[in-house]
Structure 1
Amino acid sequence: MSDYSDIPPHINAQTPLAPIIRAWEIYLRDQGKSPYTIKSFISDLSLLAGYLPPDRAVGDVTTRELNNFLGWLQHGRGVPCSPKSLARRITAIKAFFRWLHQNGRIAADPAEKVIQYSVISPLPQVLTPEEEQKVLEVAEAHRRGRKPDARPYTLLSLLLHTGIKKGECLNIHRNHIDNSNPEAPFLFIRYSNPRNRYKERKLPLSQAWMEAYQEYLEQYQPRDVIFPWSARRLEYLLEDIGEEAGLTKHLSFDMCRWTCALRDWQSGTEREQIRQKLGISKIQWREIGMKLQRLAESTTLEQTPQDSQVER
């Protein structure tokens, strides 16, 4: 049985690409794909439609034409096409024609034999243990200052210890934090879209964080959403902490997430446990795990000369 939703009945092998692309956009939206993914995929397929003859029926598109199109993107279009963009465009083409084939609208999938390029983007920046300590000390100083402000510490410590994404952080409601068992409080990451239920998870919270959180609640009294500010406002808050700590790096949600994951990796946490903590699929984990391995190795190499000098 197909995992793909029904395609409008008027679409068949003789239909040109343009109206099918519009139907696919609706399908992607119904599947809960991110607006960024939808915009990128539709743009990629629109490029293909513009490359092929305008009257070309979708059932007549060949593997050779798809490969020629990809070659044109790299060498004939006159616009730079990075390896990452190329890999995404191949993914879009494969998903589009697979959707049509698995729903019986085309007899064969011309994209099946198109070679998929796997591209690993550059390694993300992470905080060293010393830098992590510095930013936490800055946040703690605000919490203990003359005019106590627990918000910097509550936000930063939560990100560094749970590894949650920016969107997940912005969607935390008060009832997502469960302290019914004071010995084992936890954060419940929830998603409204049923297709994202696999990302839902319970993340343990420390007693130290719960204390700061209670102070934060008393100071800001959020009604429902824990951090009722825009993403950009919270990003500024993290940037301010980083600058105050003297970082040359750009402290961000993403940096905190990768720092958390790398710390777990280096501490010997089971790989599957890290994957579940991050709330990512096994397919996504392939690249994330490779990056964490490379980050761990690069960190070890950076520390080795210093360690060797100390031993001498």
Structure 2
Amino acid sequence: MSAKQLPLFPHEGEHALTRQSSVSEAIAPFQHYLRLEGCSPHTLNAFTSDLRLLCEYFGDELPLGEFSTTSLTRFMDWIEQGRGIPCSRKSYARRVTTLKVFFKFLRNEGVLPHDPASALVQRSGSAPLQPILSEEEIGRLLAYTLSLRLAPKPDARPDLLVRLLLDTGLKKSECMALTPDHIQRDDPSAPILIIRHRKPNDIYKERKIALDPDWLTVLDEYLEQYHPPETIFDCTARNLEYVLRDTATGAGIEGKVSFEILRWTCAVRDYQRGMDLDEMREKMGLSRISWRETSDKIIRLAALQARS
């Protein structure tokens, strides 16, 4: 079997899905599909939880082939109004997404002749856009971190952290896991950051991101000052959040600097510079499923910034 003809089930001995299979029987192969798509454990758990709600509402005996747009709409009405548990706009939107991804998967695998979830409407409205930094604010932020590097008691950590996040868009967890071995310095004019994951199953998620050569100078200053024994940032994630908060205060942009804000700022800047969308997705380490909504937000943010 070729790499493009992956088996429907991750384990041997399981029966192939048919129109008569139940939702419960489809969960394991659907999880396998999500892993192949590069979905995070959080996304996988959320989608699985949503499908178990589907089983709760319809019972576990309803065959996959008997689902219709009408019955799925009735299910979403129950989620929103009849379940007795508040459903936020964000949760509602995610559950609609779960149904769309799940039934599209079944349709693409030939289990169903049509996709009953394709006509479901997202009635919750667009999610709010993540705030990002303007170029003027970025300039003020970097000017302040540079002043800390050049102070009588120099501190390179704020400059190192801010530049890293602005250039790479790393997630907080990825930033905390970095070691000097993640940085390829064979060619000082074109250093590469390699994002590795500890779990063997996540090896296919490893990716390479180009670094600003000048960042290596800041890194060397930082290593000389802090002497971290293993990971580059030998402190808690909360401590780095305080570093970002204090840096924002010093630059006069209180409340506008965080891991998430710098990650989105990096993405919008990459888009404005003409980076290919698929290259951006790989740089951010997102699955194709997650990228659909994220890329739309990036494009909208770039358009808003262009008009401001």
TM-score range, shorter chain: 0.7 to 0.9
> Map of 1:265-276 to 2, 5 A cutoff?
265-271=271-277, 273-276=279-282
Q: CA separation of 1:56/1:272 partners in 2, compared to 1, >3 Å: closer, same or farther?
A: closer
Cα distance between partner residues in 2 of 1:272 and 1:147 = 43
| Whole-Å separation in 1 of the counterparts to 2:88 and 2:54 | 17
Aligned-residue offset at 1:202:
3.1
CA distance 1:188–1:11, shift in 2 (3 Å): closer
In the alignment, does 2:264 pair up with 1:258?
yes
- Asked if structure 2 preserves the Cα contact closer than 8 Å seen for 1:188 and 1:202, the reply is yes
- 1:206 paired with 2:210, answer no
Counterpart for residue 67 of structure 2: 62
Instruction: Compute the displacement of 1:203 (Å).
Output: 1.2
C-alpha distance in structure 1 between counterparts of 2:255 and 2:53, whole Å: 37
Provide the C-alpha distance between the structure 2 equivalents of 1:235 and 1:44, rounded to a whole number of angstroms: 32
Amino acid at match of 1:201: K
- Given the two structures, how large is their TM-score scaled by the length of structure 2? 0.77
Q: Which runs of 5+ in 2 are unaligned?
A: none
Query: Is it true that 1:137 corresponds to 2:137 in the alignment?
Result: no
State the AA in 1 paired with 2:58: L
Cα contact 1:2–1:103 (8 A) shared by 2: no
Aligned CA distance change for structure 1 residues 66 and 263 (closer, same or farther; 3 Å)? closer
Instruction: Tell me the amino acid that sits aligned with residue 183 of structure 1.
Output: S
CA distance in 1, matches of 2:292, 2:29: 27
The residue that corresponds to 1:46 in the other structure is 52
**1:88 partner SS:** helix
Q: Deviations over 1:209-254 (max 9, x none)?
A: 2111101111222233222333222222212211222224331111
Per-residue CA deviation, residues 3-31 of structure 1 (Å, 9 max, x unaligned), is 543467489877776x6488579758976
How big is each residue's C-alpha offset from its partner over 1:92-115, in whole Å with a ceiling of 9 and x where there is no partner?
3355566678889xx647864453
Q: Name 1:216's counterpart in structure 2.
A: 222
- What SS class does the counterpart of residue 201 from structure 1 fall into? strand
Q: Which residue of 2 aligns with 1:244?
A: 250
Q: Which moved more, 1:76-85 or 1:109-118?
A: 109-118
The residue that corresponds to 2:204 in the other structure is 197
Question: What is aligned with 1:158?
Answer: 164
Query: Identity of aligned pairs, percent?
Result: 36
Question: Aligned in 2, Cα 1:6/1:61: closer, same or farther, shift over 3 Å?
Answer: farther
Please tell me the residue identity of whatever aligns with 1:144: L
Do the aligned partners of 1:190 and 1:197 also contact (CA within 8 Å) in 2?
A: no
Question: Is contact 1:6–1:103 with CA below 8 Å preserved after alignment?
Answer: no
Report the CA distance shift for 1:110/1:6 in structure 2 as closer, same or farther (over 3 A). farther
Check conservation: 1:131, 1:247, Cα contact below 8 A.
Answer: yes
Closer/same/farther in 2, CA of residues 230 and 179 from structure 1, 3 Å limit: same
Pick closer, same or farther for the CA change 1:280–1:138 going to 2, 3 Å.
Answer: same
Q: Which residue of 2 aligns with 1:179?
A: 185
- The whole-number CA distance in structure 2 between the counterparts of 1:113 and 1:167 is 34
- Matches of 2:27 and 2:305, distance apart in 1: 47
1:115 to 74, 94, 119: 119
Contact 2:129–2:297 (8 Å) recurs in 1: yes
Alignment of 1:276-291 (within 5 A): 276-280=282-286, 284-291=290-297
CA distance in 2, matches of 1:267, 1:180: 26
From the superposition, tell whether residues 131 and 39 of structure 1 become closer, same or farther in structure 2 (CA, over 3 Å).
Answer: same
Q: Structure 2 CA distance, aligned partners of 1:93 and 1:163?
A: 30
Q: 1:93 to 1:154 in 2, by over 3 A?
A: same
- Aligned letter for 1:146? P
Counterpart CA distance in 1 for 2:258 and 2:194 is 22
Query: Secondary structure of the residue that 1:169 maps to in structure 2?
Result: helix
Please tell me whether Structure 1 or Structure 2 has the larger radius of gyration of its CA atoms. 1
RMSD of the TM alignment (CA)? 3.6
CA contact (8 A) 1:87 1:117 kept: no
Following superposition, the deviation at residue 284 of structure 1 comes to: 4.6
AA in 2 matched with 1:258: W
Q: CA deviation at 1:274?
A: 4.0
Give the Cα separation in 1 of the matches to 2:160 and 2:281: 24
What one-letter code is carried by the residue in structure 1 that aligns with 2:67? T
Check conservation: 2:39, 2:290, Cα contact below 8 A.
no
